[in-house]
A and B are shown apart, each in its own frame.
Chain A
Amino acid sequence: MINGKPHSVEAPDTMPLLWALRDLLDFNGTKYGCGKGLCGACTVHVNGEAVRSCVTPISSLQNKEITTIEGADGNTLLKTVQEAWYDEDVPQCGYCQSGQIMNAAAFLSKNKNPDDDAINTAMNGNLCRCGTYVRVRRAIKKAAEKINGEQGSEN
């Protein structure tokens, strides 16, 4: 399942999810940065966990729920994070940002009220050559505020 819809591909078992998404299924939001699990550009969610798709073979994903940057519809948390990213004008070239956003969303689902240290630790593996870190930090705080605000009003 990718973003709530079933998909199947015909490819060697060892093909990383990244390339199945990009070259075979046309989910181009997920990016190739290093291919070795070193940069975070290819981050997606597998059953809600942040996973580096460049080192995740498709054979390990049968019947798993995959969410990509394109999967914000019906995913309030992801949507909120994207909105915070927009509000804070985070992206420069944008190439690392799908990965940043996916990683931030997975992180926020576990830590709803992170401080700077927690954010720095959680996001330390997501590289950005344009150097947008200051704003990534701000956007995560903003998203956290929003999430907490919404939950507060529901309760």
Chain B
Amino acid sequence: MERRNFFRITSLAGGGLLLGTYLPFSCTTVDESIVDWEPNFFIRIGSDNTITFICSQSELGQGTSTGLAMVAADELGVSMDKLKLEFGPGSSERYGYLQDTGGSNGLRMVWQSLREAMATTRGILVQAAAQKWNVAPEECYCEDGHIHRKDLNEKLPFGAVLDIASTLQAPREIQLKEPSEFKYIGKPVKGVKTKWATAGTTPYSINTKLPDMVYAAIERCPVWGGELVSFDGSKALEIPGVVDVMEVEPTELQQEDYRGGVRPGVAVLATSTWAAFEGKKALEIQWEMGKNGLKSNDDIRKELEADYQTKSEVVANLYDAEKLFPRGRKYISGTYDSPFQVNACMEPLNATAYHQGHKLEIWAGTQAPQLTRERIAELTGLPEAAIKVNNQPSGGGFGRRFFCDYVEEAVILSEKLRKPVKVTWSREDTFLTSKYHPLCKDYWEAALDANNFPVSIRYRGSINRPGAYRCYPYSIPFMSHSYLKYKEGRLLPRASWRSVFAHPWGLGMECFMDELAHNAGKDPLQFRLEVLKNAEIQEQKQWPWVGSDLYPKKLHNTLELVKEKSSWGRLRTNGIFQGVSAMCYNGSYCSMVADISVREGKIQVHKFTAVIDCGLAINPSQVKGQIEGSIMWGLTALLKTPITVKEGVVQESNYDSYDLLRMQEAPDVEVHIVETQDTPSGTGEVGVPGVAPAVLNAIFAATGKRIRQLPVTEELLMV
């Protein structure tokens, strides 16, 4: 994901600020009886020995809160069972500009600073106990929430030394734990969020209830770019529980499109969510639909196709591809189509805001608590210091909750009412008037030599990233052109959608690699290994959200492993065929093999074997879970109806028309994790883009048909 505020990390790092370690020590002691000690913004230790991990990053189900708690537990010397969990408010004063969660960055953003902060805390606790016992600090160590004395069998709970600890300075030198000392990191540990979810007690923002709170639902303009002409709320007001009806003025979509973009709407305010929903149905509204009201998704596709015919410039040129391209003996091409998609998080978007004039408090599950606070300050004119964003665990985010329009709505209403207002989106709202993964059209071409081996690849398509940084790992020379543009703005506003641009990118690249392999008469997996072997490391570290350079060798390694684990090439019984894909995304690498069969136009996905390199896997159970989930996500995009648009209006309104993959269709999944001590990267998205190509390549193996578009329908399989 592209986001401006990540740029600031660079400047922070340049200034030498190491988050956590240098944070001011805020000791909350006023009187003799110490209650809480907060040596930094990650941990709170109470004199009653309660130890609370304060998670700065967002929990959307990807397990970041558990992963980070494990890091804290190990580095501090606390047992995971004892560690309570809280979420830190959106705050750049506390967490630098490292807090917003996107691009699978939850762990890699704070892994180092969290460890340093915990090692510092441990250092202080040890010093405090050493003073109490009158021994050298070297004689003490932390374990299980206690400081232990090496020479005697004595220990003190952390809570017992806070009076001294809170007066001490941080040690000048800290010592991070050696991997051999980790008790949790690297093990499949279950955290607080798993306990919550099995008991049904996860504190999602949709549960928010405040004294005097108003429940709101909004009917939004069904066409992007449309306007409110007039409305009549009298029928809505007759519904029991409805207390008021009012206009919601739109906010302009900003250059950084995760800010703004509240649609024109009419809000129904009520005494329960249900009454608000019922009232919404009774509204009578006149909209002016505008230009988009005449367009469908096919029109948008045609705009991209037309733009393909126009002149473009080369924006990236690897291994001299531009020079080599005209020298081909033959040329082949593949054009890949992917439709609009929606995140369809199971927890509908919602937010609660309480605007009190001089200060404002927000309760929301957001991926971007800092950005939200910044944006709300901009919107309301309040200083950031007057705004508190209580970030809560989300019932799915997948990129959508990085965009803060749904929080803006609650703020706009609460500003009018000066009461706490909870805006809950109905399921229909989340399909019909949300923000969407864009429709893409991608053109891949290759120049071949006399042996049909590719000598240069040219890409032109909807993805605007290949010019800046790319997920292109191979040694075949590659160039990309400036991206395709719509004639007149977007038909639907954009949101990030699990793996963002990597999804259409992976679809094109990994299907095309397969075509190139077959053309050259090579096994597709072997072919990839061959063109990865001598590929060069690509610099990408300069993009903070990527986090590290691209190492083709790592991808090569995952491919070698998946070849072995999937018994590649050896499975040919029962009509089962295999397809392969290899993807890299923001420092992680994932190769996968799909085992499928096709019978009478019906495709069955039997099994996925995946190998991931995500650096040090802090929690293997969660890493595997993310890949399992990514596969279901990718299969939904591959097999189910996408978002379609007619006359500007989205046609899919609930889970009946936008179906998700279901239990009966869920394949077996086997995930293998590459063992490494490299810095953790991320796992939430790298597994998504390879899913469709692996299956499509398997369909080719099974039927000889090249399908280059999503979704795969019976029709496409039968022709």
Q: A: which residues have CB within 8 A of B?
A: 11-12, 15-16, 18-19, 22-24, 26, 28-36, 38-39, 41, 68-70, 72, 82-83, 85-86, 89-98, 101, 119-121, 123-137
Give B348's nearest chain A residue, CB to CB.
A32
A140–chain B nearest beta-carbon distance, Å: 10
B427 touches A36 (CB 8 A): yes
B605–chain A nearest beta-carbon distance, Å: 12
A95 touches B62 (CB 8 A): no
B201 touches A29 (CB 8 A): yes
In Å, the complex CA distance between A38 and B657 comes to 10
Q: Chain A residues with Cβ under 8 A from B398's Cβ?
A: 129
A9–chain B nearest beta-carbon distance, Å: 10
A16 touches B346 (CB 8 A): no
In Å, the complex CA distance between A28 and B201 comes to 7
Confirm or deny: B408 has a beta carbon within 8 angstroms of a beta carbon on chain A: no
Q: Chain A residues with Cβ under 8 A from B655's Cβ?
A: 33-34, 36, 38-39, 127
B629 touches A131 (CB 8 A): yes
In Å, the complex CA distance between A33 and B348 comes to 7
Tell me if A's interface is mostly helix, strand, loop or mixed.
Answer: loop
B661 touches A131 (CB 8 A): yes
B272 touches A130 (CB 8 A): no
Q: Are A86 and B346 CB-contacts (below 8 A) given A26-B209, A130-B61? A: no
B197 touches A94 (CB 8 A): yes
Q: Chain B residues with Cβ under 8 A from A18's Cβ?
A: 274
Confirm or deny: B195 has a beta carbon within 8 angstroms of a beta carbon on chain A: yes
Q: Chain A residues with Cβ under 8 A from B397's Cβ?
A: 93
Partner among B199, B273, B660, B663 whose Cβ is within 8 Å of the Cβ of A32: B273
Which stretch in B39-47, B171-179, B630-638 binds the other chain? Answer: B630-638
Q: Chain A residues with Cβ under 8 A from B206's Cβ?
A: 31-32
Partner among A28, A119, A126, A134 whose Cβ is within 8 Å of the Cβ of B669: A134
Can you list the 4 inter-chain pairs with the closest CB atoms, starting with the nearest? A131-B632, A29-B200, A93-B61, A94-B197
In Å, the complex CA distance between A123 and B389 comes to 37
B70–chain A nearest beta-carbon distance, Å: 13
Confirm or deny: B628 has a beta carbon within 8 angstroms of a beta carbon on chain A: yes
Name, among B60, B198, B424, the residue most crowded by chain A CB atoms within 10 Å (CB to CB).
Answer: B198
Partner among A32, A41, A94, A134 whose Cβ is within 8 Å of the Cβ of B61: A94
Q: Chain B residues with Cβ under 8 A from A97's Cβ?
A: 197-198, 200
Give A136's nearest chain B residue, CB to CB.
B663
Q: List 26 A-B pairs, Cβ < 8 Å.
A: A12-B240, A23-B273, A32-B348, A33-B427, A34-B654, A35-B426, A41-B346, A69-B200, A89-B188, A89-B625, A91-B193, A92-B61, A93-B347, A94-B61, A94-B202, A94-B393, A95-B61, A95-B347, A124-B664, A127-B662, A129-B633, A131-B630, A131-B661, A133-B662, A134-B628, A135-B628
In Å, the complex CA distance between A85 and B424 comes to 29
Give A84's nearest chain B residue, CB to CB.
B198
B204 touches A137 (CB 8 A): no
Q: Are A68 and B200 CB-contacts (below 8 A) given A19-B273, A95-B395? A: yes
C-beta contact mask, B54-96 vs A, less than 8 Å → 1, else 0?
Answer: 0000001111000000000000000000000000000000000
C-beta contact mask, B443-460 vs A, less than 8 Å → 1, else 0?
Answer: 000000000000000000
Partner among B204, B277, B628 whose Cβ is within 8 Å of the Cβ of A35: B277
Q: Chain B residues with Cβ under 8 A from A31's Cβ?
A: 206, 346-347, 395
B346 touches A82 (CB 8 A): no
In Å, the complex CA distance between A82 and B201 comes to 12
B451–chain A nearest beta-carbon distance, Å: 42
**In the complex, given contacts A82-B198, A94-B198, A131-B628, what are 13 additional A-B residue pairs having Cβ atoms less than 8 angstroms apart?**
A11-B272, A22-B207, A30-B200, A85-B198, A86-B194, A89-B188, A89-B621, A92-B629, A93-B396, A129-B398, A131-B631, A131-B661, A134-B668
Interface residues of B in 405-452 (CB under 8 A from A): 424, 426-427
A128 touches B346 (CB 8 A): yes
A86 touches B195 (CB 8 A): yes
In Å, the complex CA distance between A154 and B669 comes to 36
Q: Chain A residues with Cβ under 8 A from B656's Cβ?
A: 36, 38
A92 touches B198 (CB 8 A): no
Q: How large is the interface on B (under 10, 10 to 19, 20 to 34, 35 or more residues)?
A: 35 or more
B124–chain A nearest beta-carbon distance, Å: 34
Q: Are A86 and B628 CB-contacts (below 8 A) given A131-B633, A136-B663? A: no
Q: Chain B residues with Cβ under 8 A from A29's Cβ?
A: 199-201
A133 touches B345 (CB 8 A): no
Q: Chain A residues with Cβ under 8 A from B427's Cβ?
A: 32-36
Confirm or deny: B593 has a beta carbon within 8 angstroms of a beta carbon on chain A: no
Q: Chain A residues with Cβ under 8 A from B240's Cβ?
A: 12
B274 touches A23 (CB 8 A): yes
Q: How many A-B residue pairs have CB under 8 A?
A: 181
Q: Chain B residues with Cβ under 8 A from A136's Cβ?
A: 663
A132 touches B193 (CB 8 A): no
Q: Chain B residues with Cβ under 8 A from A92's Cβ?
A: 61-63, 625-626, 629
B396 touches A129 (CB 8 A): yes
Confirm or deny: B215 has a beta carbon within 8 angstroms of a beta carbon on chain A: yes
Interface residues of B in 580-597 (CB under 8 A from A): none
Give B396's nearest chain A residue, CB to CB.
A93
In Å, the complex CA distance between A97 and B194 comes to 10
Q: Chain B residues with Cβ under 8 A from A12's Cβ?
A: 240-241
Q: Are A33 and B198 CB-contacts (below 8 A) given A19-B272, A127-B655, A134-B666? A: no
Q: Chain B residues with Cβ under 8 A from A68's Cβ?
A: 200
B422–chain A nearest beta-carbon distance, Å: 10
In Å, the complex CA distance between A39 and B659 comes to 10
Give A69's nearest chain B residue, CB to CB.
B200
A53–chain B nearest beta-carbon distance, Å: 12
In Å, the complex CA distance between A131 and B345 comes to 11
Name, among A19, A32, A38, the residue most crowded by chain B CB atoms within 10 Å (CB to CB).
Answer: A32
Q: Chain A residues with Cβ under 8 A from B666's Cβ?
A: 131, 133-134, 137
A10–chain B nearest beta-carbon distance, Å: 11
In Å, the complex CA distance between A57 and B226 comes to 36
B663 touches A133 (CB 8 A): yes
B654 touches A38 (CB 8 A): yes
Give A23's nearest chain B residue, CB to CB.
B272
A29–chain B nearest beta-carbon distance, Å: 3
Name, among B188, B201, B274, B666, the residue most crowded by chain A CB atoms within 10 Å (CB to CB).
Answer: B274
In Å, the complex CA distance between A134 and B62 comes to 16
Q: Chain B residues with Cβ under 8 A from A70's Cβ?
A: 199-200
B630 touches A129 (CB 8 A): no
In Å, the complex CA distance between A121 and B194 comes to 25
In Å, the complex CA distance between A131 and B190 comes to 18
Confirm or deny: B196 has a beta carbon within 8 angstroms of a beta carbon on chain A: yes
Partner among A28, A38, A89, A129 whose Cβ is within 8 Å of the Cβ of B345: A129
C-beta contact mask, B334-346 vs A, less than 8 Å → 1, else 0?
Answer: 0000000001111
B199 touches A69 (CB 8 A): yes
Q: Are A124 and B662 CB-contacts (below 8 A) given A23-B215, A30-B200, A131-B631? A: yes
Give B60's nearest chain A residue, CB to CB.
A93
Q: Are A94 and B395 CB-contacts (below 8 A) given A39-B655, A135-B625? A: yes
Q: Chain B residues with Cβ under 8 A from A72's Cβ?
A: 199
Partner among A19, A26, A41, A90 whose Cβ is within 8 Å of the Cβ of B274: A19
C-beta contact mask, B239-263 vs A, less than 8 Å → 1, else 0?
Answer: 0110000000000000000000000
In Å, the complex CA distance between A70 and B199 comes to 7
Q: Chain A residues with Cβ under 8 A from B394's Cβ?
A: 93
A51–chain B nearest beta-carbon distance, Å: 16
In Å, the complex CA distance between A36 and B656 comes to 9
